[in-house]
């Protein structure tokens, strides 16, 4: 028969006095918990501290024939789901800005994954999914394939503002006359809400600190009796 | 068959590495899931944490309770967190009376809340919301670990307890004692623990264990027992359900609640779901899309109420056929007959989970690859073709219904003061109705494909 060889010290009611984590052990435990939380939340700090997206130029101009337009796009280096993004398109012909021949530019989003394509969730901005476009999206001008309408901001400069509601890789295709420009945009994920992360850390910190204080009080009372 | 008679199993369970090794693995995976859901891609299909949690872990959980009892609870990362927080800063207060008295109802409430958040607020399709949910559970676990003794959270609060207890009762594994060896035990180390190994984390005294609903199979009692009295045996599945000694009202309610929550999740996948939402919204004078959480709450209440009301009516029917109806007898009949619903509820849960497991879980390796920036093509193919998944689901439901009908048949003589067939007939009808309700979404989905 198995003999218990642990030799537990017991209190008056027979309950073994289990070794409690005191001093160094408790500290190690708290450090371990702190490190775990830090490990989980460190990426949050990186995400939150990251500078706002700089503007990047896309210089892949499309040229086709002598009468072709030259198209160049500028867009933020990172675009996030749910956050408005502006894309600037420069249209030139023979090195001069063109702003009188283009009534509409037609960006055509394509999809990185089937899940994106299947996503028909209505959102504030352009729904990149296969379903019906949301009513709140800007109305397309006649001839536009998709609902991202251009706003002319300067001679030959057109601004497209849209709010992607899915993450993944999106290809925008602009065509003016016979000229085309394809711009691949990586739509990143929205970061977690920092308020929730901070609330979690504060809550856990409060719980642990109250517990430590109560534990110390218990130990003092236990020591004095 | 006592598994502890097999030397290597006994040695493994008495080893200090059990269940720590498993806990380390699950804790590591949990951290990966948490980081992935909080900081990974928003796209659920490309998110490792989402894919693992909702298409593998969640569907496999009921199956693990049937095959291994509450072994998952022994290796759950939250149990590990509880133990560590307790070691570090634990105050170890006694469990409040309110929690002991109303714990099972809180578990039922938290399970309903989870089901509600899943569908009404899209928690199982939104990566960030899943991450926030995990953080909320983690904070709750830390709170209970810091202030209360043992695994108070696991025993009285954890939402998984809503089905873990009932499914484990229907399962094939049980921990019991050899009563002759426990007689006059002076130490009760299984409950109190020793200096080396803590006592039972879920407040059980091994000789008092008569059902498998609570024991986590952590093997602390196996390690502590000075008389080698613990037995872990393989048994006939569902046998415990018809031989239950003390039927509890909350177990019956939980069985019906789980059946209702699983049903609404299956119906929510049907093409006709939108019509149901619109009709319910019109009934409540609410815009079904703007006020979707409210409309869904009303539907959820109806789906949960249906099996509960059905069980009450069936119990009333049994009583009436027996010639007398009294509240005390009704409560007893309701509690007892609730155990017959468990296998069917389990089958519905398993069938619903198999749907996810056998089709969508293919995304897991692709999502894992995506975590390191590798995108190896199409990740949407299912493990099995739809017709195969359909027939497996139907077979699981049929098996569950057969076991439920058998359990009901065995329980009938204990239910009312009337002929067993009379006590059985109303419950038999209820079980057949529940089977039809579970089959409807499966068949409808299949016809779509």
Q: Give the domain ranges of chain A.
A: 24-48+193-224, 54-188
- pLDDT exceeds cutoff 70 at B436: yes
For chain A, list residues with pLDDT below 50.
1-23, 43-56, 60-65, 101, 103-104, 106-147
Position A168 scores a pLDDT of: 63
Position A34 scores a pLDDT of: 60
Position A29 scores a pLDDT of: 57
- Dist. CA B108–CA B250, nearest whole Å: 9
Instruction: Identify the residue among A78, A112, A167 best suited for mutation to test binding to B, counting B beta carbons within 10 A and taking the highest.
Output: A167
Instruction: Tell me whether B201 touches chain A (CB under 8 Å).
Output: no
pLDDT-based confidence at residue B379 (cuts at 50, 70, 90) = low
Position B94 scores a pLDDT of: 94
Catalogue all structural domains in chain B, each as residue range(s) with its CATH number: 18-166 (no CATH), 173-240 (3.30.70), 243-448 (no CATH)
Position A67 scores a pLDDT of: 57
- Of B260 and A36, the structure prediction assigns the larger pLDDT to B260
- Of B411 and B415, the structure prediction assigns the larger pLDDT to B411
Instruction: Say yes or no for a CB contact (<8 Å) between A189 and B40.
Output: yes
Contact B168, B69 (CB under 8 A): yes
Percent of chain B with pLDDT over 70: 97
Position B167 scores a pLDDT of: 95
Instruction: Tell me whether B89 touches chain A (CB under 8 Å).
Output: yes
- pLDDT exceeds cutoff 70 at B193: yes
With CA atoms as reference, the chain B residue closest to A20 would be B87
Percent of chain B with pLDDT over 90: 63
Q: The domain A54-188: what is its CATH number?
A: 2.60.40.10
- pLDDT exceeds cutoff 80 at B303: yes
B152, B184, B207, B208, B385 from B188: Cα distances, Å: 20, 9, 9, 11, 54
B-chain CB neighbours of A211 within 8 Å are 85, 89-91, 146-147
- Of B176 and B446, the structure prediction assigns the larger pLDDT to B176
- Dist. CA B45–CA A116, nearest whole Å: 9
User: Quick one: tokens of B218?
Assistant: 């952590």
Q: What is the mean pLDDT of residues B61-77?
A: 95
- Dist. CA B191–CA B205, nearest whole Å: 5
- Dist. CA A188–CA A47, nearest whole Å: 12
ipTM, two decimals, is 0.87
Instruction: Say yes or no for a CB contact (<8 Å) between B226 and A4.
Output: yes
Position B314 scores a pLDDT of: 93
A53, A165, B102, B220 from B193: Cα distances, Å: 57, 55, 26, 8
A189–chain B nearest CA distance, Å: 5
Instruction: Say yes or no for a CB contact (<8 Å) between A29 and B188.
Output: no
Q: What is the pTM of this model?
A: 0.78
Write the pLDDT tens digit of every residue in B122-155: 787 778 889 999 999 999 999 999 999 999 999 9
Contact A115, B367 (CB under 8 A): no
Cβ under 8 Å to A: B residues 10-29: none
- pLDDT exceeds cutoff 90 at B70: yes
User: Quick one: tokens of B176?
Assistant: 């019991």
Lowest mean pLDDT among B21-30, B108-117, B308-317, B380-389: B380-389
- Dist. CA B245–CA B248, nearest whole Å: 10
Q: Which residue has the tokens 């700089």?
A: A54
Instruction: Say yes or no for a CB contact (<8 Å) between A6 and B196.
Output: yes
Would you list the DSSP string of B407-429? HHHHHHHHH-SS-HHHHHHHHHH
- pLDDT exceeds cutoff 80 at B162: yes
Position B365 scores a pLDDT of: 82
Q: Which residue has the tokens 């804790």?
A: B27
- Dist. CA B289–CA B277, nearest whole Å: 8
Q: What is the mean pLDDT of chain B?
A: 90
Q: What is the mean pLDDT of residues B389-396?
A: 93
- Of B449 and B13, the structure prediction assigns the larger pLDDT to B13
Q: DSSP assignment, residue A71?
A: E
Position A130 scores a pLDDT of: 36
Position B422 scores a pLDDT of: 79
């Amino acid at each position: 028969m198995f003999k218990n060889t642990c030799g537990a010290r017991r209190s008056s009611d027979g309950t073994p006095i289990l070794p409690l984590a005191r001093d160094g052990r408790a500290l190690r435990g708290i450090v371990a918990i702190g490190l775990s939380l830090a490990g989980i939340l460190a990426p949050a700090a990186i995400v939150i501290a990251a500078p706002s997206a700089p503007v990047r130029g896309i210089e892949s101009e499309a040229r086709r024939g002598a009468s072709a337009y030259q198209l160049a796009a500028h867009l933020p280096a990172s675009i996030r789901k749910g956050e408005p993004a502006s894309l600037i398109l420069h249209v030139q012909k023979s090195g001069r800005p063109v702003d009188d021949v283009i009534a509409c530019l037609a960006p055509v989003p394509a999809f990185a994954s089937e899940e994106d394509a299947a996503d028909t969730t209505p959102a504030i901005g352009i729904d990149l999914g296969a379903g019906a476009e949301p009513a709140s999206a800007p109305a397309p001008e006649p001839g536009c394939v998709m609902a991202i309408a251009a706003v002319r901001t300067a001679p030959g400069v057109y601004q497209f503002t849209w709010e992607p509601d899915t993450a993944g890789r999106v290809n925008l295709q602009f065509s003016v006359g016979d000229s085309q420009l394809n711009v691949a945009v990586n739509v990143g994920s929205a970061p977690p809400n920092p308020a929730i992360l901070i609330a979690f850390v504060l809550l856990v910190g409060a719980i642990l600190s109250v517990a430590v204080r109560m534990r110390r009080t218990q130990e003092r009372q236990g020591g004095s009796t | 068959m006592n598994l502890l008679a097999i030397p290597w199993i006994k040695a493994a369970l008495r080893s200090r590495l059990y269940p720590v090794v498993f806990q380390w693995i699950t804790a590591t995976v949990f951290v990966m899931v948490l980081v992935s859901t909080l900081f990974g891609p928003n796209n659920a299909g490309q998110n490792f944490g989402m894919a693992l949690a909702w298409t593998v872990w969640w569907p496999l959980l009921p199956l693990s309770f049937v095959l291994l009892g509450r072994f998952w609870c022994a290796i759950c990362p939250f149990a590990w967190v509880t133990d560590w927080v307790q070691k570090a800063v634990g105050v170890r207060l006694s469990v409040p009376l309110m929690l002991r008295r109303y714990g099972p109802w809180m578990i039922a409430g938290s399970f309903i809340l989870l089901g509600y958040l899943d569908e009404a607020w899209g928690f199982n399709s939104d990566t960030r919301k899943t991450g926030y949910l995990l953080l909320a559970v983690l904070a709750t676990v830390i709170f209970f670990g810091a202030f209360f003794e043992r695994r108070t959270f696991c025993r009285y609060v954890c939402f998984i307890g809503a089905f873990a207890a009932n499914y484990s009762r229907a399962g094939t594994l049980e921990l019991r004692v050899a009563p002759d060896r426990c007689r006059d035990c002076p130490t009760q180390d299984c409950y109190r623990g020793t200096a080396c190994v803590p006592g039972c984390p879920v407040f059980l005294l091994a000789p008092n264990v008569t059902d498998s609903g609570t024991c986590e199979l952590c093997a602390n009692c196996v390690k502590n027992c000075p008389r080698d009295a613990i037995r872990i045996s393989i048994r006939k599945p569902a046998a415990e359900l018809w031989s239950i000694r003390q039927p509890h009202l909350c177990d019956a309610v939980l069985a019906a609640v789980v059946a209702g929550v699983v049903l609404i999740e299956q119906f929510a996948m049907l093409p006709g779901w939108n019509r149901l939402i619109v009709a319910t919204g019109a009934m409540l004078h609410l815009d079904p899309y703007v006020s979707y959480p409210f409309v869904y709450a009303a539907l959820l209440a109806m789906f949960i109420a249906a099996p509960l009301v059905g069980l009450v009516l069936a119990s009333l029917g049994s009583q009436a056929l027996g010639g007398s109806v009294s509240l005390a007898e009704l409560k007893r009949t309701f509690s007892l007959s609730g155990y017959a619903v468990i296998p069917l509820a389990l089958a519905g849960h398993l069938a619903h989970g198999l749907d996810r497991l056998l089709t969508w879980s293919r995304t897991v390796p692709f999502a894992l690859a995506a975590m390191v920036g590798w995108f190896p093509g199409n990740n949407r193919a299912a493990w099995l073709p739809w017709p195969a998944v359909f027939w497996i689901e139907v077979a699981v439901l049929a098996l569950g219904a057969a076991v439920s009908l058998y359990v009901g048949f065995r329980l009938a003589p204990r239910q009312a003061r009337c002929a067993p067939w009379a006590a059985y007939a109303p419950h038999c009808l209820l079980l057949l109705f529940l089977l039809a309700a579970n089959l409807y979404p499966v068949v409808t989905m299949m016809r779509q494909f």
